[in-house]
Chains A and B, each alone.
Chain A
Amino acid sequence: MRYFAGIDIGSTAIKIAIVDESKKLAGHKISASGSMFYKYAKQALKEMLDELNIDEKDLLYTVATGYGRKLFKEADENISEITANAMGAIAAAEGKCNIKTIINIGGQDSKAISLDDEGNVVNFAMNDRCAAGTGKFLDVVAMNLEIEVDELGEYHFKSQGTPLAINSTCAVFAESEIIGLLGNDHSIEDIVAGVHYSIAKRIIKLVKRVGINEGIYFDGGPALNNGLVHAIENELGKKIFIPEFPQITTSYGAAILALESYEYENKV
């Protein structure tokens, strides 16, 4: 069997996806980026091959993507996370949803990508300046509220009152806002819902810049938070498609590209 790897080195996590020659996902792995991207990425890839019982020789082509892609020198090729994200999204939703718009919220950035009928990237927008309203922000919020990040969704749906808007989606300023709200006896549920809606509104502004066309795909770690998903759906007034493994869309796209590049280079 021949295998192809996509490795997405993000600010928060390293995501690896391995596909076989039929583009089927053979396995995936998510590990923390930590302080030494390169070392951890190499280590993670090796561990993964061991887990899947794949001989290194059978891994024919590797494509690196993400913020730290240039650091991974073993890669045969590297591509931007925009292209990889688009390829991964189309493949992950194949047969279920015809994707036209992608929303990606990562550890420290967020993106909106619009695709044409052939799946080519037509336009994209990224958040500027800071990590406001990204995964890191949710981490800080959960920490302030003394709950776990994966509990945020549960709290969101228990909100009874008016969601309390967080005016600053800057993690640093939001911290004091949240502490203030807690001090005024507001419920954690209403604060969580408010945080989700504040992020959702912000992300919708970004998506509007590229155009909102149905077939909307949402990926990145925060897509695991169904409260945030609900908030974005409400703000859009539309259903969005969440893949089975929201965190690995980009690495999956890179793996598919690895396969395609390999086939192209070895075409007789």
Chain B
Amino acid sequence: MTEHKIETSRERQNRHKAMEAASVLEKIKHNFKEPPRAMSYFYDLYERVNCKHESLHVDKAKVGTMCIQVPSEIIYALDAVPLRLCNGFYTDDEIGSDLLPSKSCPLVKATVGQFASNNFSDKPDVIISPTTCDQKAKSGAIIEGMGFSVYDMEFPRTKESHESREYWRRSVRKFTKDLSIDLNKKLTKKSLKESIKKVGYAQHLYHKLNILRKNTASPILGKDMFLVTNAFFFDKIDNWIDAMENLVQECEQRVETQVNAASKMSPRIVYTGSPPIFPNLKIPLLIEQSDAIIVADETCSSNRMFNDMISVDEWFVNDMIDSIADRYLKGCTCPIFTKNSDRKRRIIDLVRDYKADGVIYQAFAGCQVYEMEQRSVLEAMQKAQIPILYLESDYSPSQSGQLTTRIEAFVESLKNRKRRG
């Protein structure tokens, strides 16, 4: 027998992640009706980054962000790339499980796990932790303890008051200044304006595509949309924009020719709750494998990242920074806020605008704020007579049987309603 070298632990992690990614991509690509051709850019991107561990940003300063609340416009304006570190890998979740309490959120465990293994295809030079939820705030300190450079960006827990708005604006101004010093780059009026325009254009493309999903024959499935929006976490923004332009164009044609990504009977779902992040697309996949279609979502890994645009009154640096701060605070519907009626309103609006038949609310076991807000969202939906299913899940690949049954039963009940008109 010839001798074979044993993998290093890094090689093993990479193989585990590649295997995880490959099996999810396999489902995404092959278990559904023909996706738009333009999706192949995204399929390849995930394969390159997650199966082949290619680096995308060799020549740039990389700013890791632990939450959506870090303004990417400012990072781009400082000639760096934002990399969102919210992690969907079970491999990393398992590593993080040894370091955090067992009831922690899998996303946080996976993020900490990745730092513990110090295994990145694009390693961030500095990490920004907006002190949003408790678990992320505390994880920032744990990650710092591992020898990484972590910057706490303070975030308020309410958004209605004048004080919280002022507090957050100050926080964003300070962040801009400190990051500029740290990266040794100067923020200019021109660079900031350009980055606002560029991210705004990306948002515009997202909106354009989303509007197409309002059609009774939606041109794209939710599982593909999550891939597209998740790619914004780490892709080169210019490439993402190019790919998105193609995708929008193709989806426009699909709408014209009445190509339906699902079937006529497929119930239309609004997805909300803890963010699905590749490769943890377990629930969206189960929903669409049960012959429903996700037509819209209210999650921070997708809709919330793109929904609200920055509105600038005066194009001066300080005004722009304040406008950025306002957009990130006001647009946020994260359940970390004390009161969060905006979120309920937005879900109901999405259901109405996208002619959805029901809502699926998924919380990670251990994601306390989403678990806690579940009751009030359920009540609000009942009041509005919108059917809703609440699910709890984690990153483990093994529990899908029971979830499938619950999702299928919900989808069937929506189909029956449809049938009876």
Residues of chain A at the chain B interface (Cβ within 8 Å):
157, 161-165, 167, 180-181, 184, 194, 197, 226, 230, 233-235, 237-239, 242
B280 to chain A, nearest CB (A): 14
Contact call B15/A197, Cβ cutoff below 8 A: yes
Q: Which stretch of B5-13, B111-119, B199-207, B322-330 is in the interface? A: B5-13
Additional A-B contact list (16), CB under 8 Å, known A163-B19, A164-B23, A165-B23: A157-B4, A161-B51, A162-B19, A162-B22, A163-B22, A164-B22, A167-B397, A184-B26, A184-B29, A233-B4, A233-B6, A234-B15, A237-B7, A237-B9, A239-B6, A242-B1
Smallest CB-CB A-B distances: 9 pairs: A162-B22, A162-B18, A234-B7, A165-B19, A165-B23, A162-B51, A230-B4, A184-B30, A233-B6
Q: How far is the CA of A163 from the CA of B15 in the complex (A)?
A: 8
Q: Does B297 contact A (CB under 8 A)?
A: no
Contact call B30/A180, Cβ cutoff below 8 A: yes
5 interchain pairs (CB within 8 A)?
A163-B15, A163-B18, A163-B22, A165-B22, A230-B4
A212 to chain B, nearest CB (A): 14
Name B6's contact: one of A181, A197, A226, A238 (CB within 8 Å).
Answer: A238
CB-defined contacts of A239 to chain B, threshold 8 Å: 6
Evaluate whether A165 and B20 lie within 8 angstroms (CB atoms) in the complex, with A184-B26, A184-B30 already known: yes
Contact call B1/A226, Cβ cutoff below 8 A: yes
Contact call B15/A181, Cβ cutoff below 8 A: no
Please, which residue of chain B has its CB at the minimum distance from the CB of A184? Answer: B30
Q: How far is the CA of A163 from the CA of B16 in the complex (A)?
A: 9
Q: How far is the CA of A242 from the CA of B7 in the complex (A)?
A: 18
A108 to chain B, nearest CB (A): 21
Q: How far is the CA of A197 from the CA of B7 in the complex (A)?
A: 13
Please, which residue of chain A has its CB at the minimum distance from the CB of B23? Answer: A165
Q: How far is the CA of A134 from the CA of B19 in the complex (A)?
A: 21
Q: How far is the CA of A252 from the CA of B23 in the complex (A)?
A: 41
Q: How far is the CA of A157 from the CA of B7 in the complex (A)?
A: 14
Please, which residue of chain B has its CB at the minimum distance from the CB of A198? Answer: B19
CB-defined contacts of A237 to chain B, threshold 8 Å: 6-9, 12
> Which residues in window 19-49 of B have CB below 8 A to A?
19-23, 26, 29-30
Q: How far is the CA of A233 from the CA of B4 in the complex (A)?
A: 10
Please, which residue of chain B has its CB at the minimum distance from the CB of A239? Answer: B6
Q: How far is the CA of A162 from the CA of B14 in the complex (A)?
A: 10
Q: How far is the CA of A163 from the CA of B51 in the complex (A)?
A: 10
Q: How far is the CA of A267 from the CA of B12 in the complex (A)?
A: 54
B337 to chain A, nearest CB (A): 38
- Per-residue interface assignment for chain B, residues 221 to 241, with 1 indicating a CB less than 8 Å from any chain A CB and 0 otherwise: 000000000000000000000
Contact call B6/A164, Cβ cutoff below 8 A: no
CB-defined contacts of A164 to chain B, threshold 8 Å: 19, 22-23, 26
CB-defined contacts of A235 to chain B, threshold 8 Å: 12
Q: Choose among B4, B9, B11 the residue with the greatest number of A CB atoms under 10 Å from its CB.
A: B4
CB-defined contacts of A162 to chain B, threshold 8 Å: 15, 18-19, 21-22, 51
CB-defined contacts of B11 to chain A, threshold 8 Å: 234
Please, which residue of chain B has its CB at the minimum distance from the CB of A181? Answer: B26
CB-defined contacts of A167 to chain B, threshold 8 Å: 23, 397
CB-defined contacts of A238 to chain B, threshold 8 Å: 6
CB-defined contacts of A226 to chain B, threshold 8 Å: 1, 4
B404 to chain A, nearest CB (A): 13
Q: How far is the CA of A257 from the CA of B372 in the complex (A)?
A: 61
CB-defined contacts of B4 to chain A, threshold 8 Å: 157, 226, 230, 233
CB-defined contacts of B19 to chain A, threshold 8 Å: 162-165, 194, 197
CB-defined contacts of B22 to chain A, threshold 8 Å: 161-165
Q: How far is the CA of A205 from the CA of B210 in the complex (A)?
A: 43
Please, which residue of chain A has its CB at the minimum distance from the CB of B24? Answer: A165
B52 to chain A, nearest CB (A): 8
Q: How far is the CA of A8 from the CA of B67 in the complex (A)?
A: 59
- Per-residue interface assignment for chain B, residues 382 to 401, with 1 indicating a CB less than 8 Å from any chain A CB and 0 otherwise: 00000000000000010000
A129 to chain B, nearest CB (A): 13
Q: How far is the CA of A123 from the CA of B27 in the complex (A)?
A: 40
Q: How far is the CA of A184 from the CA of B8 in the complex (A)?
A: 31
Please, which residue of chain A has its CB at the minimum distance from the CB of B397? Answer: A167
Q: How far is the CA of A157 from the CA of B3 in the complex (A)?
A: 12
B4 to chain A, nearest CB (A): 5
Q: How far is the CA of A233 from the CA of B15 in the complex (A)?
A: 14
Q: How far is the CA of A180 from the CA of B6 in the complex (A)?
A: 30
Contact call A234/B6, Cβ cutoff below 8 A: yes
> Which residues in window 270-308 of B have CB below 8 A to A?
none
Q: How far is the CA of A161 from the CA of B8 in the complex (A)?
A: 18
A179 to chain B, nearest CB (A): 12
Q: How far is the CA of A194 from the CA of B20 in the complex (A)?
A: 11
Q: How far is the CA of A13 from the CA of B26 in the complex (A)?
A: 37
CB-defined contacts of B51 to chain A, threshold 8 Å: 161-162
Please, which residue of chain A has its CB at the minimum distance from the CB of B1? Answer: A226
Q: How far is the CA of A131 from the CA of B19 in the complex (A)?
A: 23
CB-defined contacts of A165 to chain B, threshold 8 Å: 19-20, 22-23
Please, which residue of chain A has its CB at the minimum distance from the CB of B51? Answer: A162
Please, which residue of chain A has its CB at the minimum distance from the CB of B6? Answer: A233
Q: How far is the CA of A226 from the CA of B26 in the complex (A)?
A: 27
Please, which residue of chain B has its CB at the minimum distance from the CB of A153? Answer: B1
